[in-house]
Protein backbone atom coordinates (compact mmCIF):
# COMPACT_ATOMS: atom_id res chain seq x y z
CA UNK A 1 0.00 0.00 0.00
CA UNK A 2 1.11 3.54 -0.62
CA UNK A 3 0.11 6.87 0.85
CA UNK A 4 -2.37 7.32 -1.98
CA UNK A 5 -4.17 4.14 -0.87
CA UNK A 6 -5.19 5.69 2.44
CA UNK A 7 -7.50 8.63 3.07
CA UNK A 8 -5.72 11.89 3.93
CA UNK A 9 -7.54 12.01 7.28
CA UNK A 10 -6.15 8.61 8.28
CA UNK A 11 -2.61 9.62 7.30
CA UNK A 12 -3.00 12.87 9.28
CA UNK A 13 -4.20 11.02 12.39
CA UNK A 14 -1.37 8.50 12.24
CA UNK A 15 1.14 11.31 11.64
CA UNK A 16 -0.11 13.17 14.71
CA UNK A 17 0.09 10.00 16.80
CA UNK A 18 3.62 9.27 15.55
CA UNK A 19 4.75 12.81 16.43
CA UNK A 20 3.23 12.52 19.91
CA UNK A 21 4.80 9.09 20.40
CA UNK A 22 8.24 10.35 19.44
CA UNK A 23 7.85 13.25 21.88
CA UNK A 24 6.81 10.82 24.62
CA UNK A 25 3.38 12.47 24.80
CA UNK A 26 0.99 10.11 23.01
CA UNK A 27 -2.47 10.64 24.48
CA UNK A 28 -5.30 8.18 24.81
CA UNK A 29 -7.64 10.37 22.71
CA UNK A 30 -5.12 10.49 19.85
CA UNK A 31 -4.51 6.74 19.98
CA UNK A 32 -8.25 6.06 20.14
CA UNK A 33 -8.91 8.32 17.15
CA UNK A 34 -6.31 6.48 15.07
CA UNK A 35 -7.68 3.10 16.11
CA UNK A 36 -11.25 4.11 15.25
CA UNK A 37 -10.19 5.45 11.85
CA UNK A 38 -8.25 2.27 11.09
CA UNK A 39 -11.24 0.11 12.05
CA UNK A 40 -13.59 2.22 9.93
CA UNK A 41 -11.32 2.13 6.86
CA UNK A 42 -10.82 -1.62 7.24
CA UNK A 43 -14.57 -2.18 7.45
CA UNK A 44 -15.22 0.03 4.41
CA UNK A 45 -12.58 -1.63 2.23
CA UNK A 46 -12.72 -5.21 3.44
CA UNK A 47 -8.99 -5.14 4.18
CA UNK A 48 -7.96 -6.81 7.44
CA UNK A 49 -7.62 -4.24 10.23
CA UNK A 50 -4.09 -5.34 11.04
CA UNK A 51 -3.06 -4.86 7.41
CA UNK A 52 -4.51 -1.35 7.38
CA UNK A 53 -2.80 -0.52 10.68
CA UNK A 54 0.59 -1.82 9.56
CA UNK A 55 0.25 -0.21 6.14
CA UNK A 56 -0.58 3.26 7.41
CA UNK A 57 2.20 3.05 10.01
CA UNK A 58 4.64 2.03 7.28
CA UNK A 59 3.58 4.97 5.11
CA UNK A 60 3.90 7.50 7.94
CA UNK A 61 6.97 6.16 9.70
CA UNK A 62 8.97 5.34 6.60
CA UNK A 63 7.93 8.22 4.35
CA UNK A 64 10.36 8.51 1.48
CA UNK A 65 11.83 5.05 2.02
CA UNK A 66 11.11 2.34 -0.50
CA UNK A 67 9.83 -0.80 1.16
CA UNK A 68 8.07 -3.88 -0.12
CA UNK A 69 4.54 -4.39 1.10
CA UNK A 70 2.12 -7.26 0.94
CA UNK A 71 -1.65 -6.95 1.07
**pLDDT on residue 3:** 52
**pLDDT on residue 44:** 95
Distance CA 59, CA 68 (A): 11
**pLDDT on residue 39:** 97
- Average pLDDT across each block of 10 residues of the chain; the chain has 71 residues. List them in order: 78 97 97 98 95 95 63 46
Distance CA 60, CA 12 (A): 9
**pLDDT on residue 2:** 52
Amino acid sequence: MTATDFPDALIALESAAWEELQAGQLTIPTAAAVHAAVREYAAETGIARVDVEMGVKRVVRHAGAKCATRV
